[in-house]
Structure 1
Amino acid sequence: MNKLAHWDANPVKSFAAFVASPEFALTSSRQRDLVPKPVSPESAAIYRFMFGKFAAWMLEERLKISTVTARDLHRFVQLAHDGHRDLNSKIAYRYLRLLERCYEYLERSPNPARDAIVGIDRAQITRDAPMTALNADELQRFLAALPGQPADDEGKASGWKRRRDRAMQVTMALAGLRVAEAIGLLVDEIGRQRDVEGGLTLNITPEHKHPTSYEHTTTLPKEGVAELTAWLDERTELKIPGALVFPANLEGEPLHKATVYRQVKATFERAGLAVPRAGGRTLRNTFASQQLRQGTPQSELSTTLGLALERSAEAYKYAKVNEETSDAEPGPTAKDA
């Protein structure tokens, strides 16, 4: 069986072997060493995550590595991620360049990814949209608009999902969890003892959560602990099986990302917050931006967020944050950090 047939049969496994090999380094346009150096484990994890999304898309489209065309690749980068990806965006180019390297290794001619790149005007490649973060006032408005307010008269049988959503969104906003990390959060990953400031540690393991996340520990501050512990008590009373902190149903099955997105977006709408991305990513951006403004070193933030590379945390310095409208004393700026 030739290489292309192997990739058709098991693309994810084949790519994982390729990205860890010297051959992958040889396909880099930046490779200048006589003896190619394999990519770092951190970079390999990111590449595997990217290719995994492409492999899942191929499966949905009933395509194979050997049958994908340049037109197919244009559809992938434009539609597969958020439904309206600009063909001239940086992320589109990165995906096509990665796939070009795969097809170069597989010696497929013509190279469909290279042909697809021809359709991109590299001089017009748009900047990735700046990440958005809430300021302190906006964050308080978001928290005030959470579902499942304690004053609700609903009983546990009818209102438990809203109280689950409330606790989950508090945890995401105040502890900086990715959506996948919140969905996959396990009961035994929550610390049993509060720290000196009243917070609870969350020991996040990447398994079944996010492919590019690394094991890390973050802290839910005391402002959010009451919400989480109240939900955990209710979860116990409901006798929900399994280990997921925020299950989808009373059978303990996992939530879907789309469900979490809709619920978070609804909270943004109730709060009257018009942001470009009204989802969990903005909550995580807010956490990271505030940490930097409060003087948290970039290296420490990288560890807290479970990032593969320290330099990845630098992007949060440039998150778009509106000026605060309250009279509160402003904290240190990203520059100060």
Structure 2
Amino acid sequence: MSDPLPPAPLDTDTRDLRRGFHLQPFEDALALEEGASPRTIEAYRRDVIRCAAWLRDQRITTARDITPAALREFVYHLKDLGLAGSSIRRNISALRTWFRILVAEGLVHTDPTERLDAPQRWRTLPEVLSVDEILRLLAAPQLDERLAFRDRAMLELAYGAGLRVSEWIGLAVKDVLLEDGLVRVFGKGSKERLVPIGRSAIGAVAVYLRELRAVLERGQGKGILFLNGQGKPLTRMGAWKILRKYVDQAGIEKAVSPHTLRHSFATHLLEGGADLRAVQEMLGHADIATTQIYTHVDREYLRSVHKQFHPRA
């Protein structure tokens, strides 16, 4: 797809942008020090002005106030406009050159483009299960199986709280606060967070605690919530085998790992309109940029729906 936007005009409004974002020193350095061709200077000038105009709409009016997070949002904005990957990569190259020059000239002290990813480096996620597939998976454990109460509780909690596999096999009994509808999770770096759980997860865990865990416990459970058939804490491999069993029983053909449940948790929340900051907190991400990958996935989902069902797509 070609770049659909025309070059930015040099009107009074644009001249204001040029002052606040040091565009003249940028263009001078491109011509005198970088030896750029007139065509490259014009393309970079247009890309940087476009970014500056978008930043001003976000109430950022000077180059020194630009943050890495703001530039990441600008790149997603370009993708939402429908720009091709080649056009977005050129925009990013222009921004990096812009800030390299501004830093060299002493006009800014930090470079917010250092961690800016180009489209070919955007992270991709494993398969995300649909809501229907999740419901089939959660219904797969049959009550005639000896460990069905444990397995149902484990699946409900893994999906219902968006846990990493290390988190749900490491949960202690005391960390499940059923009366409050919360689980206390110790994530990466032993960072603690409280995650809400719904009625289904609360009920499944309560039944498991009442009906089965005490039977499994033989003095080797170490206070851990989920135990194997020998009464010892469930291992990562044991959890993976249990999940694989029920994925097969549910007739799900996608490649599903324990982390797929976490990805599905986040994606379903955002598709339902959840706030990104709230999802970040529940997932235990230190940087909201990590959570923003799910908004990218959600945008791709919306595009696929539009393409499939809109008569003028």
Superposition TM-score, scaled by structure 2 size: 0.52
Find the aligned partners of 1:291 and 1:235 in 2 and give their Cα distance: 31
Moved more, 180-189 or 130-139: 130-139
| Unaligned segments of structure 1, at least 5 residues | 1-124, 195-199, 324-337
Q: How does 1:1-337 map to 2 (within 5 A)?
A: 128-145=123-140, 147=141, 149-150=142-143, 152=144, 159-160=146-147, 162-194=148-180, 200-206=181-187, 211-212=188-189, 214-233=191-210, 234-241=212-219, 242-251=222-231, 253-276=232-255, 278-319=256-297
Partner of 2:116: none
Find the aligned partners of 1:248 and 1:217 in 2 and give their Cα distance: 25
Find the aligned partners of 2:301 and 2:227 in 1 and give their Cα distance: 34
Letter in 1 for 2:183: L
Find the aligned partners of 2:137 and 2:249 in 1 and give their Cα distance: 8
How many residues are treated as equivalent by the alignment?
180
Compute the displacement of 1:299 (Å). 1.2
Compute the displacement of 1:250 (Å). 4.0
Letter in 2 for 1:131: P
Find the aligned partners of 2:279 and 2:218 in 1 and give their Cα distance: 34
Find the aligned partners of 2:198 and 2:218 in 1 and give their Cα distance: 26
Q: Tell me which protein shows more helix as a share of its residues.
A: 2
> CA distance change for structure 1 residues 290 and 230 in 2, over 3 Å: closer, same or farther?
same
Letter in 2 for 1:215: E
Letter in 2 for 1:254: P
Contact 2:177 2:183 in 1 (8 A): yes
Compute the displacement of 1:166 (Å). 2.2
After superposition, what is the alpha-carbon deviation per residue over 1:136-176, rounded to whole angstroms, capped at 9, x for unaligned?
1111111122x2x23x1x5xxxx13x432221111101111
Letter in 1 for 2:203: A
Find the aligned partners of 1:167 and 1:192 in 2 and give their Cα distance: 12
The alignment partner of 2:184 has SS state of strand
Partner of 2:80: none
The alignment partner of 1:134 has SS state of coil
Aligned-residue identity in percent: 26
Compute the displacement of 1:130 (Å). 3.2
Letter in 2 for 1:220: I
> CA distance change for structure 1 residues 141 and 191 in 2, over 3 Å: closer, same or farther?
same
| Backbone CA RMSD of aligned residues | 2.6
Contact 1:292 1:317 in 2 (8 A): yes
Find the aligned partners of 1:294 and 1:165 in 2 and give their Cα distance: 27
Q: Which has the larger radius of gyration?
A: 2
Superposition TM-score, scaled by structure 1 size: 0.48
| Unaligned segments of structure 2, at least 5 residues | 1-119, 303-313
The alignment partner of 1:193 has SS state of helix
The alignment partner of 1:286 has SS state of helix
